[in-house]
Amino acid sequence: MISKYQQVAVIGAGTMGNGIAHLFAMGGYDVNLIDISEAALEKALATIDKNLGRMVSKEKITEADKTATLGRISTFSSLAEGLKGRNIVVEAATENIELKKKIFQQMDEFSPADAVLASNTSSISITKLGAVTQRPAQVIGMHFFNPVPVMKLVEVINGYDTDKGISADIMALSKDLGKVPTEVNDFPGFVSNRVLMPMINEAIYTLYEGVATAEAIDTVMKLGMAHPMGPLRLADFIGLDVCLAIMEVLYHGFGNPKYAPCPLLRQMVDAGHLGDKSGKGFFVYT
Q: Which residues bind ligand NAD (CB under 6 A)?
A: 11-17, 34-37, 40, 92-95, 99, 103, 120-122, 145-146
| 36/250 Cα distance (integer angstroms) | 30
The yes-or-no answer on residue 256 being catalytic is no
Shortest spacing between CB 223 and ligand NAD, in angstroms:
25
User: Looking at beta carbons only, is 17 or 206 nearer to ligand NAD?
Assistant: 17
Q: Who contacts 3 (Cβ-Cβ below 8 Å, separation ≥6)?
A: none
The yes-or-no answer on residue 278 being catalytic is no
Shortest spacing between CB 162 and ligand NAD, in angstroms:
18
User: Looking at beta carbons only, is 17 or 230 nearer to ligand NAD?
Assistant: 17
Q: What's the distance, CA 273 to chain centroid?
A: 22
User: Looking at beta carbons only, is 138 or 193 nearer to ligand NAD?
Assistant: 193
User: Looking at beta carbons only, is 13 or 166 nearer to ligand NAD?
Assistant: 13
Q: What's the distance, CA 103 to chain centroid?
A: 16
Shortest spacing between CB 18 and ligand NAD, in angstroms:
8
Shortest spacing between CB 148 and ligand NAD, in angstroms:
8
Contact 207, 264 (CB under 8 A): yes
Strand partners, 213: none
Shortest spacing between CB 123 and ligand NAD, in angstroms:
7
The residue nearest ligand NAD at its CB is 14
Contact 86, 113 (CB under 8 A): no
Q: List the catalytic residue out of 122, 123, 125, 201.
A: 122
The yes-or-no answer on residue 227 being catalytic is no
Sign of CA dihedral 170, 155, 33, 125: positive
User: Looking at beta carbons only, is 37 or 267 nearer to ligand NAD?
Assistant: 37
Shortest spacing between CB 5 and ligand NAD, in angstroms:
20
Query: Cα angle at 3 between 59 and 91, to 5 degrees?
Result: 80
User: Looking at beta carbons only, is 148 or 206 nearer to ligand NAD?
Assistant: 148
| 153/202 Cα distance (integer angstroms) | 24
User: 46: how many CB neighbours lie within 10 A of its CB?
Assistant: 11
Q: How buried is residue 56: exposed, middle or buried, by Cβ count under 10 Å (0-12/13-18/19+)?
A: middle
Ranges of beta strands (E only) in the chain are 7-11, 30-34, 73-76, 88-91, 116-119, 139-143, 153-158, 180-185
Q: List the catalytic residue out of 111, 143, 158, 167.
A: 143
Q: List the catalytic residue out of 91, 155, 192, 201.
A: 155
| 102/107 Cα distance (integer angstroms) | 9
The yes-or-no answer on residue 155 being catalytic is yes
Indicate which residues carry an active-site annotation. 122, 143, 155, 193
